[in-house]
Amino acid sequence: MSSPLRLECIPSLVSDALNEAPQNDVEQHSQRVFEGVSATIFRGYREIVDQLPLLIQFAEQCSQRPVADQIDYYISRPFQREKTPCLVLLRSGPGDGEGEIDGAVLLYEFNIRGRGTGIFATDDKSGTRTVLGPPENYSRIVAAAMHALIERGAHVILITYQEMSCDENGIAELMGAGKGQRRAMWTSQRREIRDRLELQPTYDATLATFGKHTRRNLRYYRRKAEEELCCEFIPDVTAEIFGGPFSELLRQANPSIEYEALRERLQWHLRARFRFIAGLRSADGVWLSCIAGRRVHGETMIDWQINHGGYPKASLSTVMRSYFLEHEVGLGSKVLFFEEGTPHTMELSFLKEGAVDLVFRRESLRGFLTATLASRLLANKSFLALCLLNPELRWQRVRC
């Protein structure tokens, strides 16, 4: 296990990391990364949003329209304020920025005291909204984006994407396919993910895909809540969220999240496109639960759920999911996606999919210091840190 990082070491690590880190005014001109492929890097909310019409058109060709339609949502989330969103746009051609789009990758640079650190990572552990492009080219697109970032001064990069056809030997070849001027190290891991449920034409048919225990709980706790609380499912609670009863739900929710943080999250969510907020209310007017997310092109994304903490035996999370499942099936939704997955037993019936975590870093003193900085300072809030500290990962050296 790694030894604790002494606080007095942090300033020097930050200073060393920042000395060679890419800055926020990086030029955007295209650069050659692979033979016949050039990359342009866009930084910040406005620059990326300006590219959305182009990205949406490209995503339509790749059957990824829901991904492109939600980029503005993801890069504007409140907890991303300490990061700078970056879009790497890949084109075929000589590097003049005018060729056909080959792919795009969305990721974020960690900032410290308002300055870029050269530490980049996706915020998508399922890898479903990181890469735009033909699925069979995902590994090539990701490797090209990493080379472009390293060329611009990045030190440590993590990109998670959906697993397709490329094996480890293929990835190794791509990671060493740069200009050969820099020493670097890379590693990868594959994970099984379950965060997506295919909805059937009817509610009963959807329940039939669950295990016996899950089906029983969904029915039992809903019936119990209806008998004891006379609860009612409200598909749209937008008009209620600023009232006193709804504010009480926020105060009685998860004690690990402060009321003001929940209120800010709720207010921000109201500005999002495609958004919905549904609620569960008792007969005496007490809000028991709310669930928020987005509906985009037949897919329903659940971002978060809040349950009243005063009913520990009611299993309000299960009750709400029972109502919500029935409602989404009635709307004709095809897929239910849970952001970051769910600990609920219904997860056992979710689609089994594969994700690849690819990590790339410079093999230099500054690269080592920056990787150390990432693994220690960001340990409590970063999937990248967990990857860097994983002793089971096998690092390989390349020249890029």
- The CATH number for 158's domain is 3.40.630
Q: Is residue 1 part of a domain?
A: no
Can you state the angle between helices 244-251 and 259-270, rounded to 10 degrees? 120
Average pLDDT over residues 57-79: 89
pLDDT greater than 80 at residue 20: no
pLDDT greater than 90 at residue 276: yes
pLDDT digit string, tens, across residues 304-346: 899 998 898 999 999 999 999 999 999 999 999 988 767 777 8
pLDDT greater than 60 at residue 277: yes
Q: Are 308 and 316 in contact (CB under 8 A)?
A: yes
Q: Do 173 and 229 share a structural domain? A: no
Q: Do 258 and 131 share a structural domain? A: no
Number of helices (H) and strands (E) in the chain: give both, helices first.
Answer: 14, 16
Nearest residue to 333 via CA among 280, 289, 293:
293
Q: Do 176 and 132 share a structural domain? A: yes
Q: Is residue 290 part of a domain?
A: yes
Q: Is residue 171 part of a domain?
A: yes
pLDDT of residue 115: 82
Q: Is residue 54 part of a domain?
A: yes
Q: What is the CATH number of the domain that holds 236?
A: 3.40.630.30
H/E segment holding residue 215: helix 212-229
pTM of the model: 0.83
Q: Is residue 46 part of a domain?
A: yes
Helix (H, G, I), strand (E, B) or coil at 15: helix
pLDDT greater than 90 at residue 374: no
- Look at the chain and report how many structural domains it folds into: 2
Q: Are 124 and 158 in contact (CB under 8 A)?
A: no
Q: Do 148 and 57 share a structural domain? A: yes
Q: Do 392 and 273 share a structural domain? A: no
Q: Do 173 and 24 share a structural domain? A: yes
Q: Is residue 144 part of a domain?
A: yes
- Evaluate the CA torsion angle 340, 188, 360, 70 in order and state its sign: negative
pLDDT greater than 90 at residue 229: yes
Q: Do 344 and 362 share a structural domain? A: no
Q: Do 384 and 323 share a structural domain? A: no
Question: Which segments of the chain are extended strands (E)?
Answer: 31-34, 37-43, 83-92, 101-112, 115-121, 131-132, 156-162, 183-193, 196-198, 232-234, 275-281, 287-296, 299-307, 335-338, 353-362, 396-399
| Of the residues 349, 365, 389, the one at which a domain ends | 349
Q: Is residue 380 part of a domain?
A: yes
Nearest residue to 147 via CA among 190, 103, 83, 117:
103
Q: Do 308 and 367 share a structural domain? A: no
Q: Each residue of 353-391: b (16+ CB within 10 Å) or e?
A: bebbbbbbbbbeebbbbbbbbbbbbbeeebbbbebbeee
Nearest residue to 331 via CA among 297, 304, 303:
297
Average pLDDT over residues 359-388: 69
Q: CA of 60: how far to CAs of 38, 130, 170, 226, 292, in Å?
A: 22, 16, 27, 44, 26
Average pLDDT over residues 390-394: 86
Who's near 57: CB < 8 A, 6+ residues apart? Answer: none
Average pLDDT over residues 128-154: 91
Distance (Å, whole) CA 97 – CA 125: 30
**Could you tell me what percent of the chain has a pLDDT over 90?**
42
Domain extent for 284 = 196-349
Distance (Å, whole) CA 328 – CA 203: 9
- Evaluate the CA torsion angle 327, 332, 338, 343 in order and state its sign: positive
Q: Do 169 and 275 share a structural domain? A: no
pLDDT greater than 90 at residue 55: yes
Q: Do 201 and 157 share a structural domain? A: no
Helix (H, G, I), strand (E, B) or coil at 348: helix
Q: Is residue 2 part of a domain?
A: no
Q: Do 296 and 358 share a structural domain? A: no
Q: Are 142 and 159 in contact (CB under 8 A)?
A: yes
H/E segment holding residue 322: helix 316-331
pLDDT of residue 330: 96
Distance (Å, whole) CA 241 – CA 249: 10
Distance (Å, whole) CA 387 – CA 393: 8
Helix (H, G, I), strand (E, B) or coil at 180: coil
Q: CA of 139: how far to CAs of 123, 131, 134, 276, in Å?
A: 18, 10, 10, 34
pLDDT greater than 80 at residue 15: no
